Structure 1
């Protein structure tokens, strides 16, 4: 069922094509013809077709491709048909004919093929690649009627036929047949016979080909290419290679190709002679002899082919390569020289020689020329080594010299040498005079005049020299010098194709003698015969002018003056003028200098000079290029304000018209400050921002450029920065005016950053209220302080600026800005002097935002506090404070009097105890706790000795009064005072009064002594020697010493020293005052406290009148003496009171 459906669809499509067609072309099949045959073709229009209605055969036409065929080849047969007739048809790539209706609609298409019968193939060949496959190829002939090819082959003795499929070689017109092992190829079969048939519509061609399989084998490339290292020399080496073992029994031999290449062969491979190849089975050797270059790396390539009659290049295998390097050796030859190849100018001698080529160095490094200078007698004077072909010697003597030149390298010198003989001036022939050096399109003609006839030496020849040059110096050679010998009867020399810029010289020779070289100073052309200047230089150059000098060396030219051409150039390489060329005419030909003025700083100029005559202008000299000095630039242009904020200004400007330097920077000046701005490209426009500016400040801004100096300043811009945030208001102050109102005042911020339209005052009590105020002070009404719930106030102030995103408003002055704000919001700020009025309502705030205004608030000031108190409370507190103060003063006064009386206590010693009074105990206690000694040496001297014995008889180990810091009885009071620096009041009083009995260690110890008595053991001994009174330190409560010239010690002047009395203190008692020799200092033994210590540092000073009063004080009936307890001493004081 499905097959029937497919057939119906195909049939329907065919019928649809016929229904849609506008007509037919006859014949209905393609046309195949041979060249020069004729054919006819008809086109019939289907008049019943819908698109053909209204048309006839006159509307039909044939087209070949897209071109209309000639009208004479088409004729109308009837109303529906036309006919095309083509005579002597020729082949064509496109031979399709189309019949069209009304030149647009196609009626039908027919192909026509014009060709010929198949022709014999001429390039059939086969190649066998390594006995793996056989590839046979041929090129099909061009034919308009494309033939079909078939290839068959058979092998002898096997006669079976094989068919080989033909394929198109990619990207090639060739067809190929590949026969592989398993599909008909046999390596052992020698003869293959091929049959190639070609068939097309016009005929058939059959050809037979016989191929010898062994003759067409393309072998594999040679293997193991190497150089035997032991055989490498500076000019030879032995090459080794091999072939695969499968070729060992091959019935054909092989041919080899060996070629070498070095860096000096100019990419031309050198084929080596292979007739002397040595073979050992599959190994081969060849000696590479006569290698031209020493110390040179060689690339060796080897390939092989079957030795057969087939000579095509595709029979060769691929190359095998290897590298080696020859050894170095000393140079083979010295440099070439010629007669007269020297120049003697004044005392300078120049020698030249033709430099060797690099390949002649025979070493890649270390090459040089060795020159030996010999004197007139042949003695060696000096040796020179040079790497170039010239030697210059200064201050040469006028005598005969011989120079021997060798070429040398690290291996040694050349065996041969070249000799230059320089005769003394008296032995030289006269120099020739250069007449002209003409140049025309690369052809040079040098002419000279013969030397003067007065010379005794006859000229036998001339030597002409030339070399390339890159400078204006006539004797400077870039590279090697060249020379040739010219016969004596000639006075000119021509040279072609040697270069565009050459220097020439000529020398006259007489045998071995020579005049030396004479250089041609300038070159002229045949068109003008006016020379070309070679020597010009700059003598001075600044930023705006150049001083130029030149030297006219072509004396043979009759010129009238000089033309100097100059212009600024874009680049030294191109030398093209970027501005119109300027010129200066120097009409005085004897003037050889000029100044080029009005030049631009830091611009590269090209300068050329040409000589001119009445009829011609000579060639220009080689360009002299130099750059003028730098200078200060012109001012920056078009300084423009781009934007402004409250702390920055953005500027832009164009680069100066004349930069006059290679590097440039800018200096931006704003008021008294400057800012340096560097740029990478001096020619680029600049846009930058000046930041860290003060708000609402007027700035005068200008810019100037800097190279080696500053330019003039640009036009000045005056810009005011925008309003910013004001600074913090300083500390507030308050006063009370006559109405008892509190006045809060403040100062304007140091940096307002704007106009400060108003201030905001924050009043903080139980609730916070903010007022807006215009002035710098306001009053707080007294009624606010009478509020029962209010105890204190805090005041804070901040400044407020008003800004608007409108340049017109921002440019107004402060007065105009305030008027504008008042007109818009009359209730913006209170006009009252009180702190409790005014302020802007919510509607005004919203309107401010809608109008584009913005309030900029400064920080709040430090708070100012104020307290509200009742008047009666304040009066009561004042009265209580005064009463307390008076009471404290009275208590202090009475305490002072009491302490004063205690310090004036005097102990009267009974006569029976006078012997103890000399024991060093103090007589009376001076002010400040000082012990005052009374001179009693006349009365108590006898008793001192008995007292000493008595004291030493006491028990010395009893320690009744030890300080908290002592550890035994052996420590002295001096030690105690050193360890415990407590004041005497710490021992003498407790809490501002006398010590309580229950806490006094002295009282406890005294009671113990009363119960048990004194110990019989000896007391501690102290030093027997005492210092003079002048050395006694006066210890204050802080342990510091006072000098002997203090006011206290000066009350009683010490007498001359008396024998020292050793002093001990019995335990359990406080020593009572006793008079001793004032020349000795009292010393207390360890464990006892001197009375002076008890009051030391207490601040109680005894004056002389007090002392006199104490001396006359009323004595008790029973005075105390000796050692007493604190209770006894206190009771005694109470009695005195």
Structure 2
């Protein structure tokens, strides 16, 4: 009989020596060495004894069965170097997967059952990723670690486990060098070099490989396999047409380097292509960093690189300038720093790979311009012209611009001036520095600027020519009896040697005759007698500082090139009087008015050079005296003050009389309005210019006295005009009304209602002394009155007037429009406006005239 294991198509003969018959028709056979959880196909046939031909065998009788599952018999196979550690201390463990027949059940997988540290203590460390060939742990703590891996299925884990020891980083064995993987005739060959150190401890190498569908190293799509080779072997060949990723570990007795993956697969031929890509990663004014990336297939065969660079002739001409091409051989790196370049210069760069036997074609040229830098200093600084306030210089452009020249900066001591004109032309430039101080020293340098400025040029030291000194600003005066001693400080900026001071004297005499003279002084003090001479009207002294700009001509008087310095012991300075006449404090100083010995010495020195230039400062007043005013000034001042006091007193008296006269003027009112102020029937405190101010007045507190004469006149007038009456108007009389702003009292409103109900004649009767109230006046039609503004609330109190007629006064603003008041009071009224009557807006003047006519 034969037995077939699924899915193996090749059968295996059964050992029929173990066949037992239990009866004439029943047989049994024990089959050993089967795999758990595996399907088997058993085929049995028979033949007669001694039948040796194939056709004498019967047909097969077959049947299938599956063995029972169980836990795996063993853990996965590992090696001392079955681990990989990256720079983040992530650990990847690799093992060899169990073959199918050894999985012993469904759901075959692998478990990292235990992790122990260097102290053999179990730590909690679970894999972030686990598959059939590897397990990954992230951010593992440093130190020695030991991992236990077991095989497992649906029945459980294997009893034994495989251990992988991962040494700490410092304890790992050094890795092998120069891994290169070649693909040769459908075979893979791995070559390497021994570790750089500890070669005497090297025991073996382990080659790992796995199927991969990508070129990314450490990626495996199939089972992991490995094989250990001796330490003397440095290459390994795989006979397989499939794609493989291959790794290598170097092992000692107790440590390993772990897996080192071969990054690229190269062809065995020596053909080298063109390097691509190449780029500039960094660039400055004087250096350029070039980087490139080597294709994976070229890595095993490339030995080094040839770098060529040079400045080009023109932007559109990539030819190197003659004699400027530089060639560098580079190995062991994929970047290079080119130094010593010229700023703001365009360079061409190429790189070519070379192997042991040949050199590849150069890469596409890189054309880059270095950055700008400071130029070299300007050259040939020359002083062209110097005046007392300006300096003119010229210079040549820098030898190397090193960029786009933006401007020059001319430094003159601490001041600087930017120059833009002429910078585009490569020619000599000229600049005039103006507004300088006279007779002053200046240090001048020039710098050129692109993106930054150059070092300074050579320094020019120059002094401006002599100029006009500043005017004297500080003068002190000290009196000694009739004399005044003047002293002054030198000008703030002398602008030269400050050869002497000049006092200009102007004397005005009687008859408007003027005397002018100039006195020269070597010092800063002089005196003057304040007492004027007999015929002097005015004397004025002006002070100025003087510089003498000498000419190059010869002087007329020998020995006069140097000024003689005079001392106090040289003799009297004034030539027209004796020093004994002066106060002792001023005897050693010259006169401001009279020529001294010092004056003549200075004059002699100045006149020795006929072509010298006198530079005199602005003059300032030193002394001024009005001789006529000086003798009579006290009396004149007293006279002026006296006249002023008299004028002030006169003005005060005039104003007083004027105000007194104006205060005696009285106000005269018309006779018809005099009763407003004279009526004693209204309390005095209620009357204020004819208007009652007391608001708490009731009708019952007053008695209306009738004036028979006025009542008769009014009746006659009203009867003559009654025939023309067509509407009710308010009768306006020369009444005295008292107004306040508190509203009309109720007594007045009641009185109006009472008069309306009586319907009596127009004759006026005595009004009894009782409280009179008034109703609020209402127009007959609401639409007849359209108020323009909100009426003010008034309280009206009544006092008897001259004719004893009392009317209600409607609140108003200034004037009262009588036609708008329709008060149903039957009293005498003027119905028409004629020559004797009034209507509409009325003023006090109209009321007065109307009263006189009545």
TM-score range (shorter-chain normalised) is 0.3 to 0.5
The answer to which structure, 1 or 2, has the higher relative contact order (CA under 8 A, 6+ apart) is 2
- TM-score normalised by structure 2 residue count: 0.39
